[in-house]
Structure 1
Amino acid sequence: MSLTYEHQMQILKDILSNHQTDCCGSVSECEQVERLVKSLMANTAISDNIRPVLQQIYDYSHNGISAPNLNDHINGYQENLSQWVNDMNSYS
């Protein structure tokens, strides 16, 4: 059973919120974010307004996977993380 658009968005927001709150995360979370964003970007029903935000989130997660220190990477994106969640709430 595949996840609906709404479920994908909620999981994505949950992971980003946890990164923002906890200031830490795992490579597997970044990989999951990458998969979720790819799936959402392939969905033709999503708003064009959210696509640039999803691209930024994809870049964040992609770079996080290979970051020498993932927690430092996450800390460097604290403002972005909360903004992305706010943007997703606005467009979904």
Structure 2
Amino acid sequence: MGLNHENQMHLLKDILSDHQADCSGTVAECEQVERIIKSLYTNIDLDANFKGVLEDIYLYSQRGKSSPSIQNHILEHQDRLTQWVEEIDSFS
């Protein structure tokens, strides 16, 4: 049984919050973020503004996967991570 969109939003927020708080993450987490966002795109009608947020997070995950240092990538995005978590809260 798959996750509904509320569970997906919660999971997305948890992963980004962990990246922000711990300043670390994994390639597998980036891949999971991409899968969640793809699923949200296909399963729910998204607000145009929130679609932009998800696109930014998706790019962050893609770049994180290919970054030579995922920790440095996360550190470089600390302000954005905080902003994305807040935006997920406001849209969920």
TM-score with structure 2 setting the length:
0.96
Q: How does 1:18-57 map to 2 (within 5 A)?
A: 18-57=18-57
Shift of 1:3: 0.5
Q: Tell me if structure 2 keeps the 8 A contact 1:23–1:74.
A: yes
Paired with 1:52 and 1:62, the residues of 2 have a C-alpha distance of: 15
**3-state DSSP of counterpart to 1:45:** coil
Listed as ranges, the gaps of 5+ residues in structure 1 are none
Paired with 1:43 and 1:60, the residues of 2 have a C-alpha distance of: 22
Paired with 2:42 and 2:52, the residues of 1 have a C-alpha distance of: 13
Following TM superposition, where does structure 1 have runs of at least 4 consecutive aligned residues deviating by more than 3 angstroms?
A: none
- 1:59 equivalent to 2:59? Answer yes
Paired with 1:64 and 1:54, the residues of 2 have a C-alpha distance of: 15
- 1:16 equivalent to 2:16? Answer yes
Q: Tell me if structure 2 keeps the 8 A contact 1:67–1:73.
A: yes
Paired with 1:6 and 1:48, the residues of 2 have a C-alpha distance of: 18
Listed as ranges, the gaps of 5+ residues in structure 2 are none
Paired with 1:49 and 1:15, the residues of 2 have a C-alpha distance of: 21
Shift of 1:90: 0.7
TM-score with structure 1 setting the length:
0.96
Shift of 1:15: 0.2
Identity, % of aligned positions: 51
Q: Alignment RMSD, CA only?
A: 0.9
The amino acid across from 1:89 in the alignment is D
Question: Aligned residue pairs: how many?
Answer: 92
